[in-house]
Structure 1
Amino acid sequence: MLGHVALATYECDNAHKVQWPSSPYLGTKYLVNCRMAHAYFVSGIRQNQYHRVADAAGIGKLGEDYIGEVFSVYKDCVHRKTQESVYDALLEEITLYPETDGIDILTDARHATRKNSRYSDIVCIGAQSHKVLRVETVSREDDPCAQRHELLGTKRLYHYLEQQEGGSVHIRVHCHDRNGSVNKWLRETRHETETTNDTWHAAKNIAKEVRTVCCGSRCMQGKTWHPHLSDKAASIKTHVYWSMKNCEENPETLQHSMMNVIKHYKNNHEHCHPTSRCKTDPAYEPSKTIITDPTAEQLLRQALHRTIIYKNPTDFIHCMDTYFVESFNNIMLQYHDKRTDGSLAYDAYRMRTNIATLDWNENINARTVTSQRDSVDARNPRRVSARRNLRRKNFAFWTELWQEYASQVLA
Structure 2
Amino acid sequence: MATELLDFWIKQQLGSDNLKELHPFPSTYSQTRSQDVDQGLFITAEKSLDTYGELFEAHTSICNGKLKVLKRTMKGHVASVRLMCTKEKSHSYLWSSSSYLPNDEFLVNHRICHAFYSSGLLPVHYTRFVNGAGIGCITKERRSKLFRKYKKHAENESVQSVDNAINDEISSYDDLDGINIMTDARHGWRKNTKDTTVVALGEKTHKVMDCEHITKSQDKVA
Shift in Å at residue 33 of structure 1?
Answer: 1.0
Q: Is the 8 A contact 1:116 1:146 kept in 2?
A: no
1:75 is the counterpart of 2:142: no
Structure 1 or 2: larger helix share? 1
Counterpart for residue 138 of structure 2 = 62
Change (3 A) 1:15 1:107: same
Unaligned runs of 5+ in 2: 1-73
Which letter does structure 2 place at the counterpart of 1:132? Answer: V
Change (3 A) 1:111 1:136: same
- Distance, in Å, in 2 between the alignment partners of 1:87 and 1:132 is 10
Q: Is the 8 A contact 2:197 2:211 kept in 1?
A: yes
Q: 1:91 aligns with which of 164, 167, 172?
A: 167
- Distance, in Å, in 1 between the alignment partners of 2:111 and 2:147 is 12
Counterpart for residue 208 of structure 1 = none
What number of residue pairs does the alignment pair up?
145
Shift in Å at residue 108 of structure 1?
Answer: 4.3
Q: 1:20 aligns with which of 77, 91, 95?
A: 95
Q: Is the 8 A contact 2:183 2:199 kept in 1?
A: yes
Q: Secondary structure at the match of 1:147?
A: coil
Counterpart for residue 6 of structure 1 = 79
Shift in Å at residue 53 of structure 1?
Answer: 3.2
Which letter does structure 2 place at the counterpart of 1:8? Answer: V
Change (3 A) 1:145 1:114: farther
Shift in Å at residue 14 of structure 1?
Answer: 4.7
- Distance, in Å, in 2 between the alignment partners of 1:104 and 1:95 is 13
Counterpart for residue 201 of structure 2 = 125
- Distance, in Å, in 2 between the alignment partners of 1:34 and 1:94 is 37
Alignment of 1:227-266 (within 5 A): none
Unaligned runs of 5+ in 1: 150-411
Change (3 A) 1:107 1:14: closer
Q: Secondary structure at the match of 2:78?
A: coil
Which letter does structure 1 place at the counterpart of 2:119? Answer: S
Q: Percent identity?
A: 34
Q: Is the 8 A contact 1:120 1:146 kept in 2?
A: no
Shift in Å at residue 42 of structure 1?
Answer: 2.2
Shift in Å at residue 51 of structure 1?
Answer: 2.8
Structure 1 or 2: larger strand share? 2
- Distance, in Å, in 2 between the alignment partners of 1:86 and 1:36 is 26
Larger RCO (alpha carbons 8 Å, 6+ apart): 1
The Cα offsets for residues 34-74 of structure 1, whole Å up to 9 and x where unpaired, read as 11111222233333333333234332121211111111111
